[in-house]
Amino acid sequence: MVFLFVILLVIGVPIAFVLGLVPLIYLLFFKGLPLIAIASKLYGGIDNYVLLALPFFILAGNIMNNTGITKDLVNFARLLVGRVRGALAQVNIVVSIAFAGLTGAAVADTAAIGSILIPAMKEEGYSAEYSAAVTTASSVIGPIIPPSIIMVIYASVTGESVGALFMGGFLPGLAVALSLMILAYIYAIRLNHPKRTERISAKEAFYIIRRSVLAMMVPLIIIGGILTGVFTPTEAAAVACLYAFLVGVFYYKTLTVKNMIDSLIDAGRVSATILLIISASQLFSMVLTIEKIPEHIAEVMTSVITNKYVFLLVVNVLFFFMGMVMEISASVIMLTPILLPLAMEYGVHPLHFALIMLVNLNIGLTTPPVGVCLFTAVPIAKCSVEKMVPKVMPFVIAEMIAVLFITYVPEITLFLPRLTGFIE
């Protein structure tokens, strides 16, 4: 079965079908399970109230993209960064932090921000490869800082509080951003990158802040509503859609009927893809349970690894590798039931483990062979993957250093959830 799984992946079969087909063969031919039981399991995999948040968050992000709000966020980031050397690279990272609160998806971040900032960086003298590398590396902040689509998926698998995951993602996301900003500044000094010379008047600064404040209200509404108990995370996603729609129609006045239809179609397509992966993975989980794979792995690892910190290092390497070769939601669904109980045996807080996993897997979005953000940025920058990869790898290393801090300093993750009462 492992051999079949690997072969199907290598020949390019979509991960949703691999996750469904391999266990289907096992359950039908080796266990004689009736088809009706398999169909019931597939349906049960997505019969989860938490998962309703997925299409709503995706739709909200699409609507915000179509209103042209990214340009306002770029101007706001320019105002924040000021006239430091290599300012546009820093702006790129700061915009990713702001954009994370709107979409919760790395690919949307890469496409929306890259289409504006990559040409602007090239015009100022940055190489196409470096411009694309900064955009790709910073895009992984999107799924870490809430709202986050992958956190909703993780919550549906484990039963963890979505609110706790959202609060736990803030500081790790900022830690990743800080590592990128430090490296970008070092590059700016070494390579003598340009800096902005013109001053922004007080009147213009006020206009920029006023234009961007409505965009920045989205994460505040979502997190504020969840913290105060006004609505659940799923309801918060629906409220975000309504807010994005109202802002696009009545304030920006750029949301047309065509834009709205495109947003709905794209949200439906992306949601269906993710939900199909989740549904198919339930059969995979059934096979793992029948064969007691998690118990066997736990026995082997506990007999070989006796130290909590060595265990954390091993899972970091595993998560990073899985992020490189497999779609992120599939990795979460496959690995969490196996490794979460084991992590808790070693005394790792489940919320801390969640962020270690999610940050590592997201970094895989910037690396071959599956790095979707990498391949999204390449055509925008009009460069080759071969030339871009060496430019992005130093940023990946910087992110991995941030991951080590997140791993071995648990309070980076746990401080805000504890402060807001999500955990004790």
Q: Which pLDDT tens digit goes with each residue over 275-296? A: 887 788 777 777 777 777 767 7
Q: Residue 235: which of 163, 151, 130 has the closest Cα?
A: 163
- Give the containing element (helix H, strand E) for 338: helix 328-345
Amino acid 197: pLDDT: 67
- What b/e sequence results for 291-310 when a residue is b if at least 16 CB atoms lie within 10 Å of its CB, and e otherwise? eeebeeebeebeeebeeeee
Q: Where are the beta strands (DSSP E) in 306-385?
A: none
| Residue 128, pLDDT above cutoff 70 | yes
Q: Quick check: 415 pLDDT over 70?
A: yes
What pLDDT does residue 159 have? 87
- Give 367's contacts (C-beta < 8 A, 6+ positions apart): 323, 324, 374, 389, 392, 396
pLDDT at 294: 66
- pTM equals 0.82
Mean pLDDT of the chain: 84
pLDDT at 103: 63
Which of 270-274, 354-358, 395-399 has the least mean pLDDT?
A: 270-274
Answer with the residue of higher pLDDT: 197 or 75. Answer: 75
pLDDT band at 210 (very low <50, low <70, confident <90, very high): confident
Transcribe 202-246 into DSSP letters.
Answer: HHHHHHHHHHHHHHHHHHHHHHHHHHHTSS-HHHHHHHHHHHHHH
- The one-letter amino acid at 285: S
CA 147/CA 144 separation, integer angstroms: 8
Both tokens assigned to 195: 């800096």
Cβ neighbour number for residue 342 with a 10 Å cutoff = 20
Which of 73, 151, 79 minimizes the C-alpha distance to 112?
A: 73
Determine contact, residues 332/150, Cβ cutoff 8 Å: yes
- What's the pLDDT at 313? 92
Q: Which residues contact 272 (CB under 8 A, 6 or more apart)?
A: none
On the question of pLDDT at 67 being above 90, the answer is: no
